[in-house]
């Protein structure tokens, strides 16, 4: 007699996301209660008008695919409503099928689609399948309207992302200060009006300081026509945001005549080792991971038809080291115009950041290590890590505790007889980072990575001591 199977392991939720030629979307799958169509909106006209060039069909298709990825990632919940609570932690992976009409579907060969699917698989841990059709699409304004007075920057030109966060600001300032003749094309994606406010403030101040050497190209991207409270049912992980920003930034760079896009992310944030053993795969975001950046570069080179590189200029730099350039008096005030928070916006008047998520903690740690701790700094945060106490304090200190534990593990590994081996034993993803780097550059990054984590762990110890002292005094 065959025994009854007691295997109740959950299977990945399966979704189909269908787009038509007008940009309308239909989502089918578990936990998606609505069947009415919604729409996506993105205005890329600024890219073509900035440089007086129409967006060619193959780049317009690439942006349509990118937006489709963003929408599918948002609208398909990882943990569908009604799923057994006992398996919620296991329900991370999804199987996503995206159907999308393109101008040149035939150009997306099986090999190119495989590159896209592999990239997104690494970035999100999901299984992606794309099915493209040749259908007449409504042309966007970026494909039909060009400026009568094209203004393509000449000479030393660089393209970069300007997100509104501290890293991207520090990276742009570093570039402008160290290369006085360079013009930077800074691309910003705005998925909500709140982050746009900070981006605009940064651009105004940077223009005051550096004049027209900063060329800002913003693009809005949003989901429209959602039912009331639909946002609360969407997936909050948003693992494709880094992909979206890099592709849009790269298209901006290409239209401007560049074949390189700089992503200003510190090395700790780029590799983003898991803070605890409970984080698996892309649960520790890989938005600017070195492997992600390499895979994006490969895909872009294939689509464009010539080499294109997305780079991490500060891959072996800590956030505090990146911020050193902000010491100058006239530049220092820019810090107050940045937002780096995993839970932004807080919707608390005058306190846009939570103060206790990893991004907030890294910001405070880096400013302290760089000697840039401001008197009014704590006023930006809903919770001040230096004075946290009272009911709920233990829960609010969770991210601080796991980050401190990670820093302690890094100290021990870096002080061992074979630091690299010790790091890889605890964080196997570092082996893949090193192998990928060697395959692409023929250079061994292991000494640089060890030195990076050794410096960071010392910085964090300083921060931890300050937090403990402050909390003790407050208590």
Q: Strand order in 214-224's β-sheet?
A: 127-134, 94-102, 13-19, 24-28, 38-43, 214-224, 183-190, 157-161, 260-262, 309-311
Q: State percent of the chain over pLDDT 90.
A: 62
Lowest-confidence segment of 37-51, 155-169, 180-194 by average pLDDT: 37-51
6 falls in which pLDDT band (50, 70, 90)?
Answer: very low
What is the pLDDT at residue 42? Answer: 81
Residue 415, CB-side half-sphere exposure with 13 Å CA sphere: 8
CA torsion angle 32 121 166 403 (round to 10): 90
Residue ranges of the domains in the chain?
13-81+89-143, 340-475
Instruction: Encode pLDDT of 271-312 as tens digits.
Output: 999 998 888 888 999 999 999 999 999 999 999 999 999 999
Is the pLDDT score of 242 beyond 50?
A: yes
What is the pLDDT at residue 4? Answer: 45
CA dihedral over 473, 360, 125, 14, signed as positive or negative: positive
**Alpha helix ranges (H) inside 370-445:** 393-396, 398-414, 419-426, 429-441
What is the pLDDT at residue 1? Answer: 43
Instruction: Encode pLDDT of 208-231 as tens digits.
Output: 999 999 999 999 888 876 565 555
Residue whose pair of structure tokens reads 């406010």 in the numeric block: 197
What is the pLDDT at residue 45? Answer: 86
CA torsion angle 107 108 112 117 (round to 10): 160
Question: What is the distance between the alpha carbons of residues 115 and 249, in angstroms, rounded to a whole number?
Answer: 19
Lowest-confidence segment of 170-174, 182-186, 221-225, 251-255 by average pLDDT: 221-225
What is the pLDDT at residue 435? Answer: 96
Is the pLDDT score of 31 beyond 90?
A: no
What does pLDDT average to over the chain? 88
Is the pLDDT score of 59 beyond 70?
A: yes
Instruction: Encode pLDDT of 408-423 as tens digits.
Output: 999 999 999 999 999 9
What is the pLDDT at residue 230? Answer: 59
Q: Enumerate the β-bridge partners of residue 132.
A: 100
Backbone angles phi, psi at 4, to 5 degrees: -65, 140
What is the pLDDT at residue 88? Answer: 46
| Mean pLDDT for the stretch of residues 332-346 | 87
The alpha carbon of residue 340 and the mean position of all alpha carbons in its chain are separated, in whole angstroms, by 11
| Mean pLDDT for the stretch of residues 3-30 | 77
What is the pLDDT at residue 90? Answer: 61
Q: Which helix H or strand E contains 8, and what residues bound it?
A: none
| Mean pLDDT for the stretch of residues 43-70 | 91
Higher pLDDT, 21 or 150: 21
| Mean pLDDT for the stretch of residues 31-38 | 60
| Mean pLDDT for the stretch of residues 67-85 | 80
CA torsion angle 166 171 174 175 (round to 10): -150
CA dihedral over 274, 279, 281, 284, signed as positive or negative: negative
Backbone angles phi, psi at 180, to 5 degrees: -60, -20
The model's pTM is 0.92
């Amino acid at each position: 007699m065959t025994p009854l199977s007691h295997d109740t392991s959950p299977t990945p939720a399966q979704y189909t996301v269908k787009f038509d030629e007008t940009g309308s979307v239909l989502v089918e799958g578990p936990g998606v209660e609505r069947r009415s169509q919604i729409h996506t909106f993105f205005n890329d006209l600024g890219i073509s008008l900035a440089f007086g060039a129409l967006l060619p069909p193959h780049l317009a298709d690439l942006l349509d695919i990118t937006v489709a990825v963003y929408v599918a990632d948002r609208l398909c919940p990882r943990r569908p409503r009604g799923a057994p609570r006992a398996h919620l932690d296991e329900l991370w992976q999804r199987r996503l099928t995206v159907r999308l009409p393109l101008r040149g579907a035939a150009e997306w060969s099986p090999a190119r689609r495989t590159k896209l699917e592999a990239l997104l698989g690494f970035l999100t841990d999901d299984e992606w399948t794309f099915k493209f059709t040749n259908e007449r699409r409504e042309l966007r304004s970026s494909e039909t309207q060009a400026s009568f007075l094209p203004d393509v920057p000449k000479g030393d030109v660089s393209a970069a992302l300007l997100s509104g966060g501290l890293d991207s600001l520090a990276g742009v300032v570093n570039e402008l200060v160290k290369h006085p003749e360079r013009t930077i094309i800074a691309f910003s994606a705005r998925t909500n009006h709140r982050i746009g406010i900070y981006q605009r403030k940064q651009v105004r101040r940077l223009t005051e300081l550096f004049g027209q050497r900063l060329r800002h190209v913003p693009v809005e991207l949003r989901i429209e026509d959602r039912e009331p409270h639909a946002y609360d049912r969407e997936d909050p992980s948003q693992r494709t945001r880094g992909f979206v920003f890099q592709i849009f930034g790269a298209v901006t760079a290409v239209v401007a005549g560049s074949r390189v896009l700089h992503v200003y992310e510190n090395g700790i944030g780029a590799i983003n080792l898991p803070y605890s053993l409970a984080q698996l795969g892309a649960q520790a975001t890989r938005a600017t991971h070195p492997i992600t950046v390499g895979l994006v570069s490969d895909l872009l080179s294939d689509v464009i038809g010539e080499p294109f590189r997305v780079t991490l200029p500060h891959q072996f730099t800590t956030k505090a080291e990146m911020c050193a350039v902000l010491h100058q008096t006239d530049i220092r005030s820019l810090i107050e115009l940045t937002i780096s928070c995993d839970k932004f916006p807080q919707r608390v008047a005058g306190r846009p950041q939570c103060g206790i998520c990893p991004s907030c903690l890294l910001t405070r740690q880096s400013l302290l290590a760089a000697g840039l701790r401001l008197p009014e700094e704590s006023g930006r945060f809903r919770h001040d890590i230096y004075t946290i106490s009272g009911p709920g304090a233990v829960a609010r200190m969770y991210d601080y505790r796991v980050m401190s534990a990670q820093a302690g593990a890094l100290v021990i590994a870096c002080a061992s007889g074979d630091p690299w081996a010790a790091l890889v034993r605890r964080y196997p993803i570092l082996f893949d980072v090193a192998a990928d780097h060697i395959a692409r550059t023929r250079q061994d990054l292991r000494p640089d990575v060890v030195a990076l984590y050794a410096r960071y762990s010392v910085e964090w110890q300083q921060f931890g001591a300050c937090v403990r002292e402050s909390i003790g005094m407050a208590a």
